[in-house]
Amino acid sequence: MANPLFDRALPEDLASIGQRIEYKGKISEFHRLVEIVEAELKTVSEDIWPRRWQDAAVDIRLDFAWADLQQKIPRVTGRISAEMPAVCQRCLEVFNLSLEVALEMLLVRADAQGDDIEQTAECEIWEIGEEALRPGDIVEESLVMSIPLVPRHQSEDACGVLAGEIAESGLKTARPFADLRSQMEKPNKE
């Protein structure tokens, strides 16, 4: 049996039939996500990597429908959740990062009319370059975009030993641009 998440389909066909995709998968099924996690884990000792992290669950629900009454613009809504390992940038320990993504997206062809899109401007736009798309690509891109630039534990109390050692040592964080405003406001002396 084919998996509609990873099969290519026309967005119009998915919207016409009101396709719902509910899928419980693994991080290993999303190659870009695996590459990002591996790159992150390579910054720490391999002996502290979580076992079988690639088997972590990814829960997906996608609903396809029409965004407009003329049935010109397909729309996908849904929820994606995943747990993946990340390295806390505060304490440099590995922790489980929870990702929760709420989707509300228009699937728009490059030649679409601007007036049609303006009516539903509250949605994100996914420009369709090919005839068919893989819904799994939307899921993967959404997860990648939801990864924080600086992953860290939700609270400093959850951080490990290294964060405590830095706090106790009294080291001050370097803030190279902290005084930039005052420097810019000084008259230029040439």
Let me know if residue 65 belongs to a domain: yes
Q: What are 43-63's pLDDT values in tens digits?
A: 998 888 899 999 999 999 999
Task: Kindly report the pTM of this predicted structure.
Answer: 0.77
Q: How confident is the model at residue 168 (pLDDT cuts 50, 70, 90)?
A: low
Name 175's bridge partners.
none
Positive or negative torsion for Cα 60, 66, 68, 69: negative
* The pLDDT value given to residue 108: 86
Residue 127 confidence class, pLDDT cut points 50, 70, 90:
confident
Give bridge partners of residue 128 from the DSSP assignment: 109
Is residue 124 assigned to a domain? yes
* Partners of residue 103 on adjacent β-strands: 78
Question: Stretch 16-32: mean pLDDT, rounded?
Answer: 95
pLDDT beyond 80 at 118: no
Is residue 165 predicted with pLDDT exceeding 70? Answer: no
Across all residues in the chain, what is the average pLDDT?
84
Q: Which residue has the higher pLDDT, 162 or 136?
A: 136
* Alpha-helix residue ranges (DSSP H) falling in 42-113: none
Encode pLDDT of 58-88 as tens digits: 999 999 999 888 888 899 999 999 999 999 9
Residue 56 in any domain: the answer is yes
Domain residues for 45? 11-185
Beta bridge partners of 64: 76
Question: Is 5 within the bounds of a domain?
Answer: no
State the total domains in the chain: 1
Residue 82 lies in a domain: yes
Assess if residue 63 is contained within a domain: yes
The reply to whether 2 falls in a domain is no
Please list, in sequence order, all residues whose beta carbon lies within 8 angstroms of the beta carbon of residue 128, skipping any fewer than 6 positions away.
Answer: 11, 107, 108, 109, 110
141 found inside a domain = yes
